[in-house]
Structures are given as C-alpha cells and as structure tokens.
Amino acid sequence: MSEQHSRSFQRIFARRDLFAGPARTGLLWSVLAALLLVGLLLVTGLLVGLLTDQGRLSAILTEDQAPRFERLTGQSLNWEAAREAVKPPELPPGAAAPPPDNRPPTQLVVVDDSGIIPSVWRLRDRPWGRALEWIVLRTPPLRSNVSALMVLLPALALLAVARLFALSRVNLQARRAALEAAQRLQKSIHRQALRLGPEDLNGETVAIAQRMFSVEARAISGILHERLRRQLRDPIELIAVIIVALAADPLLTLQWLLPLALAFYLWHRGRARFAQTRQLADDRIRGEFEQLGSWLNNSRLVRGYAMEANEHDAFDNQLRHFYQTVRQKTRLMDVPLWYGWLGAFAVGAAGVFLMLLLGTKVLSPAVELSFPGAVVFLATVPIGLEAARRLVELPRLNSELSVAANQVYRFLDAMPTVSQAVGARFLNPLSRALHFEGVTYHSPARKILLDHVDLKLDAGKTYAVVSLNPEEAKAFLLLLPRFLEPRSGRILFDGEDIAWVTLESLRAETVYVGADDPPFIGSVVQNIRAGGEFPLSKVIDAAKAVHAHNFISQLPQGYETTLLHGDDTLNVGQRFRLGLARALLREPALMVIEEPSRALDEDTKNYLADTYERLIPGRTIFFKPTRMSTLRRADAVIMLHQGRVIAVGPQARLLSEVPLYRHWEYMHFNEFRHASEN
C-alpha cells in the first residue's frame, strides 16, 4: 500500500476508531463469541466422551486419589484389603526376608452409568479440571448417561445459537461503524461540493461529487464493513482455537503449527498464482477473439465483390490458426501452475504427516491424548484455518479501500479558488459603473474562456451576455458574485476591486438566479427566505411580483408546502419564478439571471415579460438569455468569442453588423432548425 493510499485509509478509519463507538462494542461481542466457541468445543468433547465411554469409568486408584474419586462419584472405597495385599507374608524362622515392596496400595474401581464423570476424571489434572468437577458436583444430571445426554445436547444447541447471535452482533457493529465512517465521508463530500460547486461551469464538479457521494462512499462502506467484520472477529477467534488446541495437547499443537502454517502459505500462494495466471491467459485469448471478430465488419465489401467463398476459406484458415495459437498459449500459460500443484502436494503431505502424529498420540499405550480430545483438537483446525484465510485477505481489502478512499480524498483536498481576503472591506451597492479590467479566466482544464477582457458598463442597465461557447458567457457572469476568481485582472464595482470586499456584502448585492435551481428541503416560505429573516408579508409580495403567488396558493399547503430535492411538485418555469422571488426579496443592486434552456410552461411564458418589468427598474441586470424577447429587452448585448468581447450594443445593431452574432442567433432561434430537431 502506497503512502498516499495509507494516509487516505487512515483518514477514513483510524486505528483509534477500533476502540471507540460501534467498533469497540463489536470487539466486546467478538470476545464473547470466542468464549462461546471455547464452550462449544468443550461441550462437544464432553458429548463425544459420553458417547465413547458410555458412562463407564475404569480406574486404578491409589489411596491418595481416593478422596477426590469418592467425592466425584459418590462411592465409598474400602482400602483394608488393598493394604493387606501389599503386606509381606509371614516367613518361617531363619528365612531371608524378601526385599520391601514400596508400592502404594491400589485397587481397580469400575463405575457404570456415570455420565460425563469418565471425561472429567481424565481431565482432572488439566487447568480446568477443578472447574469441571465443580460443575459436575453441582449438576447431578451430568452424573448419569441419559440425563447427561439430555443436558449436553440442549447446552450445545444453546451455545451454538448464542454464538451465532454474538457473531451477528459483531457483523451489525461492524456495519454501523462502516456506515458512520461513510456518513462522515458523505458530510465532507457535501461540504466540499458546496465549496467547489459555485465554480462549476459545465456540471463536472457536481457529477464528480454525486459519484463520490453515491458510488464511492457506498463502495467504501461495503469494503470497510467486510474489513472490520474480519478484523474484529478473526484474530480473537484464532487466538481462542489456539488456546483450546494447546489445552488439548500442547506438544501436539506445537508440532502441528509449523507444518500447518507452511502448507497454508503454499496453498494460499499457489491459489493466488493460479488465479493470476488463468486471468492472464483468459485476457490474452479474449484479445485474440476480438481481433478475429474484426473479420465480421467487411460483409458489405465481400458481398459487393462476390468474394463470399474466398472470404469464408480465408476466415476458416484464420480460425484454425487461431485455435492452434490459443492451445499453444494455454500450454505456455499453464507452465507456471506447477506452483499450485506444489502447494496441493505440500498440503496433502502435511495432512498425512500431521494425522500420523495425531494417531500416534491417540493410539499410544500411555493414552497421551484421548479420542474426545483428538476430536476437539481436530475441530480447532478448520476453524483456525478459516479465520487465518479471512485474515490473510485483509491486505487486499485494505488496498481496495485505500484506492477508493484516495479517489474521494483527491476531490476533498481540492482547494476552492475563491476565498475572502484578510481585511476585506464592506461593499456598497453598485450605483455608477462596472469595469472589467484585463480579466483572464481559464477552466480547471486550462482552457481559456476569458482572455484579457476590458469592458466598462454603466450601472442601472440591462445586459444580455451571449457566446458560441456557453462556458464563456457563464464564466463572465459567475465572476460578478465571485463564484469564480479571475486568473488575472480585476473587476471593479464603482472603482472598488471586488477581490478585496467581503463575500457577504458582495453576494448580498449581487444575486445569481440559476436556470433550473432545485428547491431547498423545506417549505415554500423557507425556500424564498433562503435563511434570511423576512416577514411573511414581504415573502408574499415578492412572490406576487414575479407571478409565483398563484401557483404557490394552489399547492396542497400553500406557502407551507414542503419541497424536496428532486421533487416534481414544481416544473421548470415554477422553479425559475421561485428563484426570481428569492432574489427579489433581497432587493439586490445587481442581478444575474440565467434563463432555463428547457421549455417553459404557458403561465411562465405569459407572465415573464411583466416579471422582468418589475425586476429591472433601479438595478443592473445581466441575462444569459434563451428567449428572443429577453434579447430585445436588453439595453445592450455583449458578444463573447474565443475569450474576447467582439461586440457590445443593442440586439438590432448586432444583428445587422456582426456576422458572428447573426450566426449565434440563427443557431438558437431559427424556427425551421428547431422544428427539425424536435
């Protein structure tokens, strides 16, 4: 994992997050699941012991073992006969005394129908032997066969269900932790979209933000959930099964660990190499198929010159040659697969060797490992191997997560070009003149949209800005409220450079109305107020001025109707009028209006002329027009081409004197052209 990917990964889910919140809770549930696994293995061993011994205990006891045995089985033993058996016989006078017998007295004791007592007696010297004795002494049903079976089976089922529940809690907490991380990430994406969105000329930034929000964040959540689930569960589970295996037979466990680890490593590497090699072979064969498929493209040429027979023969020869090549490449690609076969052989050899060790232990006359203990030991092996398999895949998940996170953080680390200058001053409303002074702007892709624009415009007039490249006109307009920052040059409001005024005062007096701005989540009143403190009467007056009051009143709850993002409650024209009401409520000195490019409803068409008549007096208006009536209404049309202002004047004069403007108007308003497009 590269350093950059590692940093991105740590920003999504730092190590300290494992011990806080849902991840910490999942860790506790994982510990409980591991303890339940230990209990499952122990109960399984006791059940196997019960079925194997059938409750029969045969033991040769010494006198010092008697109290513990009597306490466990409830039987009383008579040691008088055992002591007599070890006394030396009386000898005739003068006979030599035999060597003294120092063996302690012993006796054979056989107990039937004793439940799990034989298993407990075998485990009496193990660390948990006392605990098992304590359980048996306080649970009488465990001391007979049938009742012990009736206790162990439900206990086994109960432990299994409890473990499944604990594992489901681990999974749930891992999912919650992943969702919280994704939520934090999506909040950051939303915040960054708000910072970079005003600079978005062609919707590319919004598209990237939407992809980051919906696709990458969800993918990160899914990968992180799987990674956390494994990280929380598998290390603790692996430790638990190793402890159980060590408890069953420490020496055997140590003998198994190294061969098992080596076989597992070879198997895992061989499997990965096999998959990689096979994928490479498939990719090469697919490329050959695609090349061969190009023969299907010249059917018209073949049929036109009556070459069907020749073409088919040539194709048949090429196809035959292709399959010969494929077979050769497949054989060549299969050569490195010896690694996989070596891994399989190593696994098989290790399995035979390890089972030989286990069988020797079980079949030893000294009974070093009982059959139930061997069953428990073997049960730990697949559980441990599966946990190890999931753990060795963590680097792959980390890599996938880091790649996705790096894409997101490249977006999040992008810096907006617009920021408020230190010591910025308050801007007074525009009243005299607006001056573009050597303004240059190029897009993030380094495409020049404005090239040393020099333009002086009188305040209090209406302007329409047009260009063959729509991005040029939009960049020109977005510079006014400083949604974009010039690469060079200045924009002056009444001689004041707007780069040195507060953004709040600038945007209070320079309001941008987008072509199809979506509504905010909230009521119609909240949408028009847009966070401002305005009385309802002024809101209604603004709505009436732009002819929005009628359709608002017809909504289900009128001005209290809740609007949502992506809601189709309002059409394009109604959303546009809502945006005009929102702008008018602030009574700005300068208003930038981007007209919708989509068809407007009849009400909006009928009322828009009167709406503009109410908006225009007393302020400077800039239009990005899509209606001919708007062009004719403007005091001057500003024509941009290749980043330069090529004409400024009334629409009628530009139409007669500027060929490029005539071309632009034809492209946008010729009725025959639009009829053919429709």
List, in sequence order, every beta strand (DSSP E) within 33-135: 57-62, 106-111
What are 364-397's pLDDT values in tens digits?
666 567 888 888 888 888 898 889 889 888 888 8
Lowest mean pLDDT, pick from 233-247, 489-503, 565-579: 565-579
What are 426-447's pLDDT values in tens digits?
999 999 999 999 999 998 778 8
Predicted confidence at residue 294, as pLDDT, reads 65
Predicted confidence at residue 675, as pLDDT, reads 42
What is the C-alpha to C-alpha distance for residues 419 and 499, in angstroms, rounded to an integer? 9
What are 2-59's pLDDT values in tens digits?
555 567 777 888 778 888 889 999 999 999 999 999 999 999 988 998 888 888 887 7
Predicted confidence at residue 499, as pLDDT, reads 93
Higher pLDDT, 304 or 342: 304
Predicted confidence at residue 674, as pLDDT, reads 45
Sheet with 448-458, strands from edge to edge, namely 448-458, 433-442, 488-493, 496-497
Q: Report residue 462's pLDDT band, with 50, 70 and 90 as the boundaries.
A: very high
Predicted confidence at residue 325, as pLDDT, reads 67
Average pLDDT over residues 265-273: 68
Predicted confidence at residue 677, as pLDDT, reads 38
User: Tokens 């020797």 label which residue?
Assistant: 360
Q: Which of 487, 449, 480, 446 is nearest to 467 (CA)?
A: 449
Angle, CA 470 vertex, CA 466 and CA 472 arms, to 5° = 80
Mean pLDDT of the chain: 84
Instruction: Reply yes or no on whether the pLDDT at 184 is more than 80.
Output: yes
What are 286-297's pLDDT values in tens digits?
766 666 666 666
Q: Which amino acid is at 209?
A: A
What are 482-495's pLDDT values in tens digits?
999 999 999 999 99
Strand pairing partners for 57?
A: 111
What are 158-174's pLDDT values in tens digits?
999 999 999 999 999 99
What is the C-alpha to C-alpha distance for residues 25 and 55, in angstroms, rounded to an integer? 42
Predicted confidence at residue 423, as pLDDT, reads 87
List, in sequence order, every beta strand (DSSP E) within 519-595: 522-523, 562-563, 590-594
User: Tokens 């035979």 label which residue?
Assistant: 352
pTM of the model: 0.77
Q: Report residue 671's pLDDT band, with 50, 70 and 90 as the boundaries.
A: low
What are 562-596's pLDDT values in tens digits?
988 766 778 899 999 999 999 999 999 999 999 99
CA distances for 78 relative to 62, 63, 506, 514, 528, angstroms = 12, 10, 106, 103, 100
Residue 362, Cβ neighbours under 10 Å: how many?
17
Predicted confidence at residue 551, as pLDDT, reads 92
Residue 102, Cβ neighbours under 10 Å: how many?
6
Instruction: Reply yes or no on whether the pLDDT at 81 is more than 60.
Output: no
Lowest mean pLDDT, pick from 100-104, 304-308, 318-322, 423-427: 100-104
